[in-house]
Chains A and B, each alone.
Chain A
């Protein structure tokens, strides 16, 4: 509860800081599309906000290490593919083509990186003869988050396929296989308990969901390349998984579920005018809470840790490092617990919602 409160406060602070910055950008329309690190040097606080958001949000390249060099900010990063579609034109390049603010012209469209209005980090923008500085219709670039997601997929497949193979030798698990089995059975039990007889169909989804979230939470917490990407704290990621649960819930729901939702049997007629809309809204609120809970918890955790570290630089004193690092350590341990806890809650609630929809009795 306490940490959740901290999460919310920090998130609110972050929002306020961001809105403030957006206002500053509004007052200078020219600066809105300017590269972010020019902005950054105007003010120390702003620099930190940018630094935190740069980590928490997505990016077109994968930074390995950055430092203050002779020619200003220098960094080593892996370029990632930029794939987009705009007005009937496909566009493909590597993110390194946009280094040093370069622009790429193709099919009469000018592609470049800039910070759109109301945004914090650089996004792929496109200029055409008729319109200027717009987001492309579809931007399906392999961003840092996507690359990190694929890394997590490789990790997950390696772990579980090798565990599954271990059972071919012996049905009795040894060593790490036993540990993995314990967690697998734990998640399977969640599905069995919440869904009941029909659980077998949903167990693979629940297991995949749990480990996809958990492994990505862990990857997000390891603070060096190729980890530390805040994928499971990205609202697009949590939204997609919540949509998955929403689809599974409503596409497999029994007649009873729909009758219950649209007629609310067993209450006075007048009450139905209140309860039916509530039931319908609930259908959408359930997955929405899933996506917000995971997003806010994971992102909140990242922001706290980064803010605590940023405090050293904002205050500008080495003495600040002691409480900062100690607090970071505490939050870090909490985040490790929360990483598993959030995966558990997401899976548990998904199973609960599906269980409510696919079972006739209540």
Chain B
């Protein structure tokens, strides 16, 4: 019956049409379409690979940065430490030197004072001797009979004497 018997005419036309459709679609639709999809796939693939690579590079750079930072910090610490030590050293030395210097100055001053004192004493002694001689010569030259005269005389000489 009609429904179940394939018409040869329709078989021929279907076959022919489908072959032509296959050719036209293959050439003008599937080839560019699948090509574009493939191209996009490779583009995405390379983009992703590049991203991963870039990420890895970034990580490496990050690691290097951290390492360099750590090294720098260490170096800085050691330099600081050294500087501290150096500073302490210098300060210590300076202190010592200053102390020694001060000691020296004090000693020198003391020696000077002692010397000056000795000199002064010496001079005083000689001055006193001289004065004594002068006084004695004066006393001898003047009448020392009365007490009043004696006191006037002492007073007079004492005033003449420069105690400075």
Contacts and interface: CB of A to CB of B under 8 A. Distances in A.
Identify whether the interface residues of B are mostly helix, strand, loop, or mixed: helix
Interface string A224-251: 0000000000111101110110000000
Given A143-B10, A240-B10, 6 more contacts: A143-B7, A143-B9, A207-B25, A208-B21, A236-B14, A241-B18
Interface stretch (B26-34, B71-79, B84-92, B129-137): B26-34
Given A18-B1, A203-B34, A299-B3, A244 B18 contact: yes
A255 to B, nearest CB: 27
Contacts of A161: 28-29
A56 B33 contact: no
Interface string A150-180: 1001001100110111011001100000000
* Nearest 10 pairs of A and B residues by beta carbon: A167-B36, A160-B29, A236-B6, A236-B10, A240-B14, A164-B32, A171-B40, A140-B9, A204-B26, A164-B33
A4 B30 CA distance: 33
B25 A208 contact: yes
B3 A164 contact: no
Contacts of B36: 164, 167-168, 171
Identify whether the interface residues of A are mostly helix, strand, loop, or mixed: helix
Interface string A122-150: 00000000000000001111110110011
A207 B27 CA distance: 13
A234 B6 CA distance: 8
A205 B25 CA distance: 9
Given A53-B2, A164-B33, A184-B33, A212 B11 contact: no
B34 A22 contact: no
A221 interface: no
A160 B6 contact: no
A352 interface: no
Interface in A183-222: 184-185, 188, 203-205, 207-208, 211-212
A183 to B, nearest CB: 11
Interface in B1-50: 1-15, 17-18, 20-22, 24-26, 28-34, 36-37, 39-40, 43
Given A163-B33, A239-B11, A157 B17 contact: no
Contacts of A241: 14, 18
A118 B2 CA distance: 8
A156 B25 contact: yes
Contacts of B34: 184, 188, 203
Contacts of B7: 58, 139, 143, 236
A203 B26 CA distance: 9
A120 interface: yes
Interface of B: 1-15, 17-18, 20-22, 24-26, 28-34, 36-37, 39-40, 43
Contacts of A14: 3
B151 to A, nearest CB: 135
A362 to B, nearest CB: 28
A174 B81 CA distance: 66
Contacts of A204: 22, 25-26, 30-31
B7 to A, nearest CB: 5
- Name the residue among B6, B15, B25 with the largest chain A CB count within 10 angstroms: B25
Contact of A58 (B10, B15, B30): B10
Contacts of B30: 160, 164, 203-204, 207-208
Contacts of A184: 33-34, 37
B17 A149 contact: yes
B24 to A, nearest CB: 6
Contact of A208 (B9, B15, B22, B32): B22
A171 B39 contact: yes
A356 interface: no
Contacts of B39: 171
6 contacts: A53-B3, A141-B9, A149-B17, A157-B24, A239-B6, A240-B18
Contacts of B11: 236, 239-240
B14 A153 contact: no
A181 interface: yes
A115 to B, nearest CB: 9
B6 to A, nearest CB: 4
A121 B24 CA distance: 34
Contact of A235 (B6, B12, B21, B31): B6
A229 to B, nearest CB: 12
Contacts of B8: 138-140, 236
Contact of A156 (B1, B5, B21): B21
Given A167-B36, A208-B25, A140 B13 contact: yes
Given A139-B8, A160-B25, A237-B10, A167 B32 contact: yes
